[in-house]
Amino acid sequence: MKYPYFPGCSLRGLGRAYEESLLAVLHHLGVELQELEDWNCCGATAYMSVDETQAAVLASRNLARAERAGFSELLAPCSACYLVLNKLQHSIEQFPDIQQTVQRALAQANLNYRGSVRVRHPLDILLHEIGLDAIRERVVQPLRGLKVAPYYGCQIVRPYATFDDAHQPTTMDQLLATLGAEVVVWPLKTKCCGGTLTGTVPEAGLRLSYILLKEAQRRGAHVLATVCPLCHFNLDAYHAEIEHRWGPIPIPTVYFSQLMGLAFGLAPRQLGLHRNLVPFRFPSEPTVACP
């Protein structure tokens, strides 16, 4: 299997470990990714706040280039990219004037978009294309005894619940259980981490991240599993600041793909685990300590 791939800016920066681990586990499962040539920033939530027409045009270049390359699907692992590209696809289908504006802009670059690209998330591909059985076959080091809080965050299930439920998503729960982990019942799985508010208005943003960690701790979780580079940044890089404000919460946050890699027996370094600021260790034996 081969999937067209839209990395997005974060996976080349703060979220490098997400790309490293995702590529490693997909390769292990026999899936290769083909990067969209000369992709550009999706615009995220920030551009949408400034000018929505430009935001739509910016994002549309990616879908148009994907279509021209003959791709019918585009894998977008970052939550913001996934939502923005999906939202554009919806807007183009729903609002003829947005479609017109986008087409007019694309024409300036000799591009065109017929609307044929389906934006997909890695969890969607893993569960609905590759399948849990194929994943189970690859597990050589089951994550037995590891209690994981599955953190979906906002933007992969809202406002468009394309492959999972908007209120009670379960795809990551099923995946983690397949790896042998114990999935903790944790009602905050789709609550907001604070997004960029952690940097702009820390009093508000950090509190949201703190609530996630605190509740995970109360529920006995050893680790949070995330799908989003921004959630990971908030929970990992601001961890020290959160502890400074509210006291110790010894819970690391890792990407779900990193846990997959560990269960597949891949090396922690290959999965980018050495990039975590809060080191991840198995509860009983400190075997996965980061170098």
| Smallest distance, another protein to C-beta of residue 285, A | 24
What is the contact surface with another protein in residues (CB under 8 A)?
9-10, 12-17, 38-41, 43-54, 57-58, 60-61, 95, 97-98, 101, 104-109, 111, 154-155, 158-159, 161, 166-167, 190-192, 194-197, 199-202, 204-205, 237-238, 240-241, 274-277
1 or 166: CB nearest another protein: 166
- State which amino acid sits at residue 254: V
Its sign, for the CA torsion 91, 96, 101, 105, is positive
State the nearest-atom distance from the C-beta of 138 to another protein, in Å: 27
Handedness of CA 197, 198, 203, 205 (dihedral sign): positive
Q: What's the alpha-carbon Rg for the chain, to the nearest Å?
A: 19
SS3 content of the chain, % helix, strand, coil (to 5): 50, 10, 40
Smaller CB separation from another protein, 112 or 116: 112
For residue 36, give both structure tokens: 């969209």
Q: Which residue has the tokens 């994981």?
A: 148
Smallest separation (angstroms) from another protein to the CB of 267: 16
Q: Which is nearer to another protein, 104 or 144 (CB)?
A: 104
The CA distance from 249 to 214, in Å, is 7
Nearest residue (CB) to another protein, 9 versus 288: 9
Q: Which are the contacts of 218, defined by CB distance < 8 A and separation ≥ 6?
A: none
Residue the block writes with tokens 């994943």? 135
Minimum CB separation from another protein for residue 87, in Å? 9
Choose between 158 and 219: whose C-beta lies nearer to another protein.
158
Q: How far is the CB of 223 from another protein (least distance, A)?
A: 18
